[in-house]
């Protein structure tokens, strides 16, 4: 950059300028160092150190990765996130397609409606679901008292289904926006070429549109998966007996007060998140090449 701003200046002078630009990110870098990197490092250390003896240990990780109880929790966490991801994709893709191809001048409104749930506080949103589906909530009231379809109110809160619905509700916009940005970049003439060559609409979608939007699907899926994996408030309030890693970490910190174990668990959660990011970067880089 400095070579462009000072084309006539000798190369030697470019160095101090480059150094100076480092100062611009210094405040942010320092902030992150003290409030993010160091605590994280501290956390990692804690997970490897035996509290009683102060010696290095892998016992916690051994337990986490072999004990069926912990494995089941990790499995449940990943399964829940995967389910939320798949449902978000199934709901989100048609919305993204509509947004790009059909909405026209209404697209701004559709995007607003999409993002609106993200603008409300997560606590409010989650309580909203509770109000809606409580024993004497709106839905049960409608089913039992208004329509008389049921004798007994349904037990809807504290269920896996409601938890998934609430997570999908928040995460679908991320899926839609990821897919939208990729769909917008697809040249309509590619689809028209396929049609002229004898592909009907469904075939055109299957052969051209869908493969070309895989990037957006990948990005959206990884984003949704990562956030669902780390979601906490929704699970605490609507949980339905689900036991996931974030809940377990909370429990270890506040109830069991086994800080070492909590640290080890959060490291595993972090590793899953980093693996997802790595996967996404790989996908994008492969496509870009």
- Among residues 9 and 210, whose Cβ is nearest to another protein? 210
Sole residue written with tokens 């039992």: 144
According to CB under 8 A, which one of 12, 189, 285, 286 is a site residue for another protein? 189
According to CB under 8 A, which one of 21, 120, 145, 193 is a site residue for another protein? 193
- Among residues 133 and 191, whose Cβ is nearest to another protein? 191
- Among residues 86 and 199, whose Cβ is nearest to another protein? 199
Which residues, other chains included, contact 44 with Cβ-Cβ below 8 Å and sequence gap of 6+? Answer: 263, 267
According to CB under 8 A, which one of 198, 241, 254, 285 is a site residue for another protein? 198
Interaction of residue 136 with another protein, rule CB under 8 A: no
| Piece of 109-117, 140-148, 197-205, 270-278 that binds another protein (CB under 8 A) | 197-205
* Residues 205 and 167: beta-carbon distance below 8 Å: no
Which residues, other chains included, contact 247 with Cβ-Cβ below 8 Å and sequence gap of 6+? Answer: 232, 235, 236, 239
| Piece of 157-165, 169-177, 204-212, 240-248 that binds another protein (CB under 8 A) | 204-212
According to CB under 8 A, which one of 4, 28, 196, 285 is a site residue for another protein? 196
CA–CA dist 72, 234 (Å, integer): 20
CB of 196 to another protein, least distance (A): 4
- Among residues 20 and 282, whose Cβ is nearest to another protein? 282
The closest of 97, 119, 288, 105 to 204, measured between CA atoms, is 97
Interaction of residue 200 with another protein, rule CB under 8 A: yes
Sole residue written with tokens 């669902």: 228
Interaction of residue 104 with another protein, rule CB under 8 A: no
CA–CA dist 228, 205 (Å, integer): 29
What distances in angstroms separate CA 29 from CA 22, 231, 249, one per listed residue? 10, 27, 28
Residues 210-269 that bind another protein (CB under 8 A): 211-212
CA–CA dist 183, 188 (Å, integer): 10
Interface residues toward another protein, by CB under 8 A:
187, 189-190, 192-200, 203-204, 207-208, 211-212
């Amino acid at each position: 950059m400095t070579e462009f701003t000072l084309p006539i200046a000798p190369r030697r002078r470019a160095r101090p300028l480059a150094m100076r630009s480092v100062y611009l990110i210094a405040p942010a870098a320092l902030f992150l160092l003290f409030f993010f990197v160091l605590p994280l490092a501290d956390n990692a250390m804690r997970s490897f150190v035996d509290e009683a003896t102060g010696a290095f240990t892998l016992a916690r990780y051994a337990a986490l990765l072999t004990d069926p109880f912990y494995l089941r929790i990790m499995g449940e966490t990943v399964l829940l996130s995967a389910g939320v991801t798949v449902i978000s994709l199934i709901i989100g893709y048609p919305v993204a397609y509509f947004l790009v191809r059909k909405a026209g001048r209404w697209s701004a409104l559709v995007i607003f409606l999409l993002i609106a749930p993200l603008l409300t506080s997560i606590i409010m949103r989650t309580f909203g679901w509770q109000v809606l589906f409580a024993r004497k909530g709106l839905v049960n009231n409608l089913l039992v008292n208004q329509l008389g379809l049921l004798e007994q109110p349904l037990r809807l809160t504290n269920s896996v289904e409601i938890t998934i619905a609430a997570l999908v509700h928040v995460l679908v916009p991320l899926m839609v926006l990821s897919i939208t940005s990729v769909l917008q970049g697809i040249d309509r003439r590619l689809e028209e070429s396929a049609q002229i060559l004898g592909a009907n609409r469904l075939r055109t979608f299957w052969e051209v549109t869908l493969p070309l939007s895989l990037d957006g699907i990948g990005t959206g899926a990884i984003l949704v998966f990562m956030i669902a994996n780390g979601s906490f408030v929704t699970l605490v309030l609507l949980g339905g007996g689900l036991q996931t890693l974030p809940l377990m970490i909370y429990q270890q910190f506040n109830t069991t007060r086994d800080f070492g174990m909590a640290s080890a668990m959060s490291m595993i959660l972090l590793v899953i998140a980093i693996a997802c990011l790595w996967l996404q970067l790989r996908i994008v880089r492969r496509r870009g090449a």
